[in-house]
A and B are shown apart, each in its own frame.
Chain A
Amino acid sequence: MAYGAHVARVRLEHVSKQFGEGDEQVTAVDDISLDIEDHEFMILLGPSGCGKSTLLRMVAGLEDPTAGDVFIGDHRVNDQLPKLRDIAMVFQSYALYPHKTVRANIEFPLKVRGVPKAQRAAEALHAADVLGLTDYMKRKPGQLSGGQRQRVALARAIVRKPAVFLMDEPLSNLDAKLRGDTRTELVDLHRRLDSTFIYVTHDQVEAMTMGSRVAVMNAGRIEQVGTPQEVYDRPASAFVAQFIGTPPMNLLPVGVLGTDDVQVGIRPEHLVLSTGGPLSGTVSMVEHLGHEVLLHAESGAGRLVARVDPASVIPAVGQAVQFDAAPQHLHRFDATSGVRVS
Chain B
Amino acid sequence: MKRKLRDLPPALLMLVPSLGLLTVWVIYPLIKAIDYGHKKCDISSRNCRDVGWDRYFSVFQSTQFQDSLIVSLKFTLMTVPIGLVLGIGLAVLADKHLKGIGIFRTIFSSTVATSVAVASLVWFVLLQPSRGILADMLSDWFPVLKNPGLLNDSGTALPAVALSSIWASLGFTFIIIMAGLQSVPRDLYESAFVDGAGSFRRFTNVTLPMLTPSILFVSVVLTTRALQSYGEIDLLTQGGPQATKATTNIPYLIYGNNSVIHNDIGTKSAAAVLLFLLCLAFAALQFRGFGKRVHYGN
Interface of A with B (CB < 8 Å)? 60-62, 81-83, 87-89, 91-93, 95, 97-100, 108-109, 112-113, 141-142, 156, 160
Interface of B with A (CB < 8 Å)? 185, 187-188, 190-197, 201, 205-206, 209-210, 212, 293, 295, 297-298
The 6 closest A-B pairs by CB, nearest first: A83-B196, A95-B191, A95-B187, A109-B195, A99-B209, A99-B295
Closest to B295 in A: A99
Given A89-B194, A91-B190, A95-B187; 15 other pairs, CB 8 A cutoff: A81-B196, A82-B193, A82-B194, A83-B193, A87-B194, A88-B194, A88-B195, A93-B185, A95-B188, A97-B205, A98-B297, A99-B210, A99-B295, A156-B195, A160-B195
CB <8 Å contact, A97 and B194? no
Known contacts A99-B210, A99-B295, A142-B298; is-contact A113 B187 (Cβ 8 Å): no
Complex Cα gap A191–B132 (Å): 75
Complex Cα gap A93–B196 (Å): 19
Nearest Cβ on chain A to B97's Cβ, whole angstroms: 12
Known contacts A98-B297, A142-B298; is-contact A91 B187 (Cβ 8 Å): yes
CB <8 Å contact, B187 and A93? yes
A-side contacts of B298, CB under 8 Å: 98, 141-142
Q: List 13 A-B contacts (CB under 8 A).
A: A60-B194, A83-B193, A83-B195, A88-B195, A91-B191, A93-B185, A95-B191, A98-B209, A98-B210, A100-B209, A108-B197, A112-B196, A160-B195
CB <8 Å contact, B209 and A62? no
Central interface residue in B190, B192, B201, B210, by most chain A CB within 10 Å:
B190
Known contacts A82-B194, A83-B195, A87-B194; is-contact A98 B205 (Cβ 8 Å): no
Nearest Cβ on chain B to A106's Cβ, whole angstroms: 11
Central interface residue in B206, B293, B297, B298, by most chain A CB within 10 Å:
B298
CB <8 Å contact, A109 and B193? no
Complex Cα gap A95–B295 (Å): 15
Complex Cα gap A166–B206 (Å): 21
Closest to B193 in A: A82
B-side contacts of A109, CB under 8 Å: 195-196
* CB contact between B185 and one of A89, A95, A142 (< 8 Å): that residue: A95
B-side contacts of A83, CB under 8 Å: 193-196
Nearest Cβ on chain A to B247's Cβ, whole angstroms: 40
Known contacts A109-B196, A142-B298; is-contact A95 B205 (Cβ 8 Å): no
A-side contacts of B293, CB under 8 Å: 99
Nearest Cβ on chain B to A335's Cβ, whole angstroms: 43
CB <8 Å contact, B197 and A112? yes
Nearest Cβ on chain B to A125's Cβ, whole angstroms: 18
Nearest Cβ on chain A to B77's Cβ, whole angstroms: 27
A-side contacts of B188, CB under 8 Å: 95, 97
B-side contacts of A113, CB under 8 Å: 196
A-side contacts of B205, CB under 8 Å: 97, 108
Complex Cα gap A99–B209 (Å): 7
* CB contact between B194 and one of A61, A93, A99, A100 (< 8 Å): that residue: A61
B-side contacts of A92, CB under 8 Å: 187
Nearest Cβ on chain B to A90's Cβ, whole angstroms: 9
Central interface residue in A89, A99, A156, A160, by most chain B CB within 10 Å:
A99
B-side contacts of A95, CB under 8 Å: 185, 187-188, 190-191
Complex Cα gap A92–B186 (Å): 12
Closest to B187 in A: A95
CB <8 Å contact, B195 and A112? yes
B-side contacts of A61, CB under 8 Å: 194
Nearest Cβ on chain B to A77's Cβ, whole angstroms: 13
Known contacts A83-B195, A108-B205, A109-B196; is-contact A98 B295 (Cβ 8 Å): yes
B-side contacts of A88, CB under 8 Å: 194-195
A-side contacts of B190, CB under 8 Å: 62, 89, 91, 95
Complex Cα gap A81–B195 (Å): 10
CB <8 Å contact, A97 and B209? yes
CB <8 Å contact, A82 and B196? yes
CB <8 Å contact, B206 and A97? yes
Complex Cα gap A160–B196 (Å): 11
Complex Cα gap A113–B196 (Å): 7
B-side contacts of A142, CB under 8 Å: 297-298
Closest to B294 in A: A99
Complex Cα gap A109–B197 (Å): 8
A-side contacts of B185, CB under 8 Å: 93, 95
Complex Cα gap A109–B192 (Å): 8
B-side contacts of A91, CB under 8 Å: 187, 190-191
Closest to A92 in B: B187
Central interface residue in B187, B195, B206, by most chain A CB within 10 Å:
B195
Nearest Cβ on chain A to B33's Cβ, whole angstroms: 41
B-side contacts of A99, CB under 8 Å: 209-210, 212, 293, 295
B-side contacts of A141, CB under 8 Å: 298
* CB contact between A108 and one of B187, B195, B212 (< 8 Å): that residue: B195
Nearest Cβ on chain B to A262's Cβ, whole angstroms: 46
Nearest Cβ on chain A to B64's Cβ, whole angstroms: 45
Closest to A114 in B: B196
Complex Cα gap A108–B196 (Å): 10
Complex Cα gap A60–B187 (Å): 13
A-side contacts of B193, CB under 8 Å: 62, 82-83
Closest to A153 in B: B191
B-side contacts of A87, CB under 8 Å: 194
Complex Cα gap A141–B191 (Å): 15
Complex Cα gap A99–B207 (Å): 11
B-side contacts of A100, CB under 8 Å: 209
Complex Cα gap A99–B187 (Å): 15
A-side contacts of B194, CB under 8 Å: 60-62, 82-83, 87-89
Nearest Cβ on chain B to A272's Cβ, whole angstroms: 48
A-side contacts of B192, CB under 8 Å: 108, 112
Closest to A141 in B: B298
